Amino acid sequence: MAEILREGNIFHLRNDSISYVLCGMPGGVVAQLYFGARLERVNAANLLRHAGVPADGSFDVQESMLDRLPQEYPAFGLGDMRQGAVAVVAPDGSWAVDLRLTGAELPGEKPALAGLPATRGEGSAALRLRLRDAHTGLEAELDYAIYDDCPAVARSARLINGGDAPLTVERAYSLCLDLPDSDWELVTLAGAWARERDICRRPLVRGFQGVSTRHGASSHQTSPFMALVRRNTTEFSGEAVGAALVYSGNFVAAAEVGQFDTTRLLLGVNDDGFSWLLESGEAFQTPEAVLVYSGEGLGGMSRGFHRLWERHLLPARWVGRPRPVLLNSWEAAYFDFDADKLAAIAGAAAEAGAALFVMDDGWFGRRNDDSTSLGDWQCNTGKLPGGLSALGERVRAMGLQFGIWMEPEMISPDSDLYRAHPDWCLHIPGREGITARHQFVLDVGRGDVQEFMYEAVSRTLRESGAAYLKWDMNRNFTNIGSAALPASRQKETAHRYILGLYAVLDRLTRDFPDVLIEGCAGGGGRFDAGMLAYVPQFWCSDDTDALCRLRIQYGTTLVFPPSTMGCHVSAVPNHQTGRTVPLETRFAVALGGSFGYELDPRALTEAERAELRRQVAFADSTQSLRLYGAFYRLLSPFEGDDTAWMSVSADLSEAIFTFVRAQARPNAMPPLVRLRGLDPARRYEVCQTGEVYGGDELMRVGLCCPLAPQGTGDGCSVLYTLKAVNEA
């Protein structure tokens, strides 16, 4: 049960598993005292003494104690030499900020964040601190929430210009967490297009370290996430503190080890290329940052994030619901299709038992390759006579739902839209525009552009009767400037874009609540908690090679649950790597997320098509276990040739287990993998073999995984389902 205990100026946020403690110091600076496993009682003197505060509690900002003090929302420039969380330029040109506590409230429920996605507050306790900087009149509201059912705390800040003169916000992070030691390792995610979310782990060193993006999106290259883990923390044990930002644009996630070997963790909108003009009375809302604590290793941290997103962030109507097994036309046809070809592919998908057929890129304007027509969202009736409605009907007549691809945030220079509205894209007047994939980025911060996007998408959904939308976004920002903003506000462009994107998604998801939207950004280039507040799943990567996907999906699960990952079986040789992986392994790997196909079933043998029918039936029958069970990573593809993971149902009566050996190993004993999360007192039948083992045995001894006969080649796999049995 979440609660907020207040003793004087000490605030103790806690639930059954974690505590977060902060304290208003004499004079009003807000100190941070603790985040970690639940505390029964707090005697702040201990921690304050560690931070250099004298035993009598006297505290003097003038005597430069700030550089030692752990703080909630510090600024650079008045004694704290570490990186600050906030910087605001006053009319006199100074940018120091000194926020002091003026009040604290316990709002009945967690307040929503204006214009930004955030975790929902049902079953949480909320705290709001009010602070003020006397010199500038800047006010801050620091919002906190702690949940009944997750080891997590959410934080955000709202800056208000309470003075008479304009202020310019140059930095407004969402989170500062000051930890009293530096005996940590930093875990981040790193990647590239088609190689998203490698897990990187490195010891903290004195100084500044972390990840950030300037791509305009949270990016393929990293993720708005970081974790601190103890040196001895493993997947299964030890402390882990995870932090994630509910945001889809440029961010910074950093750790600074200071001169006294303390660690400051910072997370927020990237201040590089950012500023925000606050006229008197105006406010700036930061995105929400969430902290998750685990005493059960990285696995425990991940399950904490998964539960938080599932219960408090993902669109509620899609959580726990089965996702239709789909076939997407992209790798089956690319741009080379007409209605008959699509109908034939859809027919083969229906025969396999799929529930949804998705028409990818190439259906609009004059789009026969990627050089043209983004923005001209009218059906190409040369390719699809009868338009979207006719194709939608034809697909539905086969018993399938129809889905469609769009890239609403983009504009091709060769498009009617660009010819009509050359100023609608991000650009800097007088500088040559830089295309990527032959396209520019719309200036989504503009109201007229948002209206256009909403109209284009809603018309397309209505015309096609689509039950599913793949919302793509295929390039990063350059020439960042907006024709709609004055010079003094140009650095607001990238953040306004994200606010505009959220506004459009919010409106569309309200107006089309039954349309399942899959996010996509050239694969997983914007796979973040901000997007997941609107789209319950995201195309994990443009790399569909099953062995590459092992790393991509494994890394993604560090923060996000299986249900959020779009994972498809594709053809061999794989289109990205040229590799051939057995069909059963491509299937086993794609089952790791929201399952589908990315191939033309007509090109398969009769035996393979029969196999597809079995696969679809299995994927359907294991949906809720795979997508919503408690997820355990067992063997890491970053540490060896073998990868394994499993999911366990909430009542511990069922589990699904997958093992993949990337490289064949001659003369090897069959792998023995220790399972996790089962009930040690129950007995489980391995459904594929009929053998029964104790839960304790499976977890302490392991489950032997005989691989296909030696010589079968790379990429062998084992896929087992387990069911608790009553047998004595």
Catalytic residue list: 472, 542
Q: Which residue minimizes CB distance to ligand DGJ?
A: 361
Nearer to ligand DGJ, 216 or 304 (CB): 216
> Of all helices (H) and strands (E), which one includes residue 283?
strand 283-285
What is the nearest approach in angstroms of ligand DGJ to the Cβ of residue 577? 16
Binder of ligand DGJ out of 34, 452, 477, 539 (CB under 6 A)? 539
Q: How far apart are CA 441 and CA 426, in angstroms?
A: 6
What is the nearest approach in angstroms of ligand DGJ to the Cβ of residue 705? 32
Please choose, from the candidates 173, 205, 167, the residue with its C-alpha nearest in 3D space to the C-alpha of residue 186.
Answer: 205
Residue ranges in 494-513 that form contacts with ligand DGJ under rule CB under 6 A: none
- Note whether 545 binds ligand DGJ by CB under 6 A: no
Q: How far apart are CA 236 and CA 238, in angstroms?
A: 7
> Of all helices (H) and strands (E), which one includes residue 317?
none
Two tokens, residue 334? 């690319």
What is the nearest approach in angstroms of ligand DGJ to the Cβ of residue 425? 18
- Report how far Cα 674 is from the mean position of its chain's Cα atoms: 29
Binder of ligand DGJ out of 72, 133, 542, 600 (CB under 6 A)? 542
Phi/psi for 301 (5° steps) reads -60, -45
Residue ranges in 458-487 that form contacts with ligand DGJ under rule CB under 6 A: 472, 474
- Note whether 72 binds ligand DGJ by CB under 6 A: no
Contact (CB, 8 A) for 20 and 32:
no
What is the nearest approach in angstroms of ligand DGJ to the Cβ of residue 662? 24
Contact (CB, 8 A) for 218 and 248:
yes
- Note whether 520 binds ligand DGJ by CB under 6 A: yes
Count of CB atoms within 10 A of residue 575's CB? 17
Judged by CB under 6 A, the stretch of 27-35, 131-139, 515-523, 702-710 that binds ligand DGJ is 515-523
Nearer to ligand DGJ, 508 or 520 (CB): 520
Contact (CB, 8 A) for 573 and 580:
yes
Binder of ligand DGJ out of 24, 242, 392, 523 (CB under 6 A)? 523
Binder of ligand DGJ out of 284, 318, 405, 477 (CB under 6 A)? 405
Q: How far apart are CA 399 and CA 394, in angstroms?
A: 9
Contacts with ligand DGJ by CB under 6 A: the residue count is: 11
What is the nearest approach in angstroms of ligand DGJ to the Cβ of residue 334? 8
Count of CB atoms within 10 A of residue 548's CB? 22
Q: Map tokens 């207040």 to a residue.
A: 6
String marking each residue 408-447 x if it binds ligand DGJ according to CB under 6 A: ----------------------------------------
**Would you give the DSSP letter of residue 556?**
H
Judged by CB under 6 A, the stretch of 186-194, 307-315, 381-389, 516-524 that binds ligand DGJ is 516-524
The interaxial angle of helices 387-397 and 447-464, nearest 10 deg, is 40
Two tokens, residue 212? 């950030």
What is the nearest approach in angstroms of ligand DGJ to the Cβ of residue 539? 5
Two tokens, residue 182? 């530096």
Phi/psi for 660 (5° steps) reads -135, 130
Judged by CB under 6 A, the stretch of 217-225, 380-388, 415-423, 518-526 that binds ligand DGJ is 518-526
What is the nearest approach in angstroms of ligand DGJ to the Cβ of residue 469? 12
Nearer to ligand DGJ, 23 or 520 (CB): 520
Binder of ligand DGJ out of 20, 305, 330, 684 (CB under 6 A)? 330
Two tokens, residue 585? 């392994």
The interaxial angle of helices 339-352 and 387-397, nearest 10 deg, is 30
Nearer to ligand DGJ, 194 or 547 (CB): 194
Q: How far apart are CA 61 and CA 347, in angstroms?
A: 73
Residue ranges in 93-112 that form contacts with ligand DGJ under rule CB under 6 A: none
What is the nearest approach in angstroms of ligand DGJ to the Cβ of residue 541? 8
What 3-state DSSP class applies to 140?
Answer: strand
String marking each residue 335-374 x if it binds ligand DGJ according to CB under 6 A: -------------------------xx-------------
According to DSSP, the β-strands at 276-278 and 691-694 are: unpaired
The binding site for ligand DGJ (CB under 6 A) comprises 330, 360-361, 405, 472, 474, 520, 522-523, 539, 542
